[in-house]
Amino acid sequence: MNYTYGYARVSTQSQELNRQLDILEKYNCNEILTEKISGTKSSRPELNKLKESVREGDTVIVESWSRLGRSTKDLIDLVDFFSSKNVKLISDKENFDTTTPQGRLMLTVFQAFAQFERDLIVERTKEGLKSARARGRVGGRPKVDQKKLDQALSLYDTKKYSLKDIKEMTGISSSTLYRYIDARRGNE
């Protein structure tokens, strides 16, 4: 059975959700998720819950795009996310529905902008690497001394030392140590 979700958000605790909730009620949502959190926050718990909950064929309804995305790029990423899961997306204020011809056209435009942004990032990265190489720098992570890494892993396995202690003894950072620990677990 397809499920209909509503999502409403205001930026501060003192603001009210009533206007958005009244609009979402018209759609007979099975569930309405609400948040009182700034749109500038990258982690919005109820939006994250919504993203984890939706399944193919579901519908997500918002009062307006400004309630869903915190920036144009964020909105495009979210529209792309829901589209990739075959979730219908409706914005009441903008009269946008991803299942209509106009909605599909706008979805295509959103996806084109998202691809354009990804292409620009790749291009800038390549240009940056080329520029760095021209100055004698090499990109990528620095090589890890295998002997020191083995020592750090052994110290970690004893469970007697903190990550700070291990770093001081071996020079291996906690992020590098965790990367190798995770890789080791993946091979088990």
- Measured at the CA of 73, the angle between CA 123 and CA 32, to 5 degrees, comes to 150
Q: Give catalytic status of residue 11 as yes or no.
A: yes
Q: Name the pTM for this structure.
A: 0.60
101-134 and 72-84 are packed helices; what angle lies between their axes, rounded to 10 degrees? 120
110 near 73, Cβ under 8 Å? no
Set 11, 66, 83, 173: catalytic member: 11
100-119: pLDDT as tens digits: 888 888 878 877 776 787 78
Q: Summarize pLDDT for 74-93 with one digit per residue, the tens.
A: 888 888 899 899 999 999 98
